[in-house]
Structure 1
Amino acid sequence: MFRLLFDKEIYTEVVQKKIPEARRFLWIGTADIKDMYIHKSGSMVPFLELLSELIRKKVQIRLIHAKEPGPAFRDDFDKYPLLFSGLERVLCPRVHFKTVIIDGKIAYSGSANLTGAGMGAKNEANRNFETGFLTDDIALVEPLMNQFDQLWAGIPCKKCGRKEFCKDRPV
């Protein structure tokens, strides 16, 4: 499967359909992260609630992002104690890729940051114009996983010229 996604399709296909199906692991890479809200049981709830539910189901979640989220995200984060120890996180100021990897079988990659405007959760008048693809083709999923995993492992950190802005890597 290879699907090109635009605008709200990213939210519908990735956030609403695929991410909740994660059973083993969920990796998210994004430059920007904000207090995104999602539809659940007829109301809007923080995306972090979904992540907390996945952690409760023993799904391993890793998040790489480029900058600290704002106060609204932090306030939402504090409402879900499972995130404190269950959400693994690395801050890397050089990250600009936007990737979601689910169980090593499905991947999204595209322009959308993990924000309501980026992922399409906002209404039509306020969301960004975004493009990405969703695939289960291992020839595409594997290199996306490799990029994420190498950064997670800190492989590029030794030669990085932006170490002074990086709080998570001691290299």
Structure 2
Amino acid sequence: MIKFISDIEHYDIVLNLVAKARRSLWIGTADIKDLYVMRNGMNLPFLAILSELIDKGVEIRLIHAKEPGQPFRKDFDSYPLLAKQLERMLCPRVHFKIIVIDSFFCYIGSANLTGAGMGMKSQLRRNFEAGIITDEVNILNSVVEEFDKVWRGSECLKCQRKQYCPDPLIWK
């Protein structure tokens, strides 16, 4: 299955699938902000969903390009499990937007992990976003490899942005 999605479907489809992860969740985004979602009639920080997933034993890896702002940090600090078990990496070169759920389903597209990109923003305040969701094995394997080569530091030696990297994996 390969499905094109746009705009509000990022919230309606992708974030709902993320909340159903059972084993692993890999998220790659250039920008991450204080994203909120509706859950059981309440507005919750997306970080609450991530904390719940970790509590259920889901391995979560997050790669993002820059440090998030104060509202995100405040919410992050409200979930101590995230500080202990969320695997997080900063890479100033990351511009891809990738989400891999349980190694069998992925999103690839334009939306950052922000309210305007994926969150609860109104139709008048949302970005115009486009992407695909798929469980197609060939695409999924390529997406996993793209994420993993950054995660394991394969790109570090040729990066040429080490002076901007707050979290270098390889310094040679």
Q: Give TM-score scaled by structure 1 length.
A: 0.97
Structure 1: which 4+ aligned runs deviate by more than 6 Å? none
Greater share of helix: 1
- Give aligned-pair identity as a percent: 55
Q: Which residue in 2 is equivalent to 1:74?
A: 73
Specify the code of the residue in structure 1 equivalent to 2:67.
E
Q: Is the 8 A contact 1:29 1:63 kept in 2?
A: yes
Q: Which residue in 1 is equivalent to 2:5?
A: 5
- Describe the shift of the 1:124–1:84 C-alpha distance in structure 2 as closer, same or farther (beyond 3 A): same
Q: Which residue in 1 is equivalent to 2:152?
A: 153
Specify the code of the residue in structure 1 equivalent to 2:61.
R
Q: Which residue in 1 is equivalent to 2:112?
A: 113
Distance in 1, Cα, partners of 2:26 & 2:120: 19
Distance in 2, Cα, partners of 1:88 & 1:32: 17
Q: Is the 8 A contact 2:26 2:61 kept in 1?
A: yes
Deviation at 1:170, TM superposition (A): 4.4
What are the Cα deviations for residues 73-131 of structure 1, in whole angstroms up to 9, with x where unaligned? 00000000100111101100000000000011000000000001011421111010000
Q: Give TM-score scaled by structure 2 length.
A: 0.97
Q: Is the 8 A contact 2:35 2:119 kept in 1?
A: no
Give RMSD over aligned pairs: 0.8
- Aligned residue pair count: 170
- Describe the shift of the 1:125–1:167 C-alpha distance in structure 2 as closer, same or farther (beyond 3 A): same
Q: Which residue in 2 is equivalent to 1:130?
A: 129
Segments of 5+ residues of structure 2 without an aligned counterpart are none
Distance in 2, Cα, partners of 1:105 & 1:170: 27
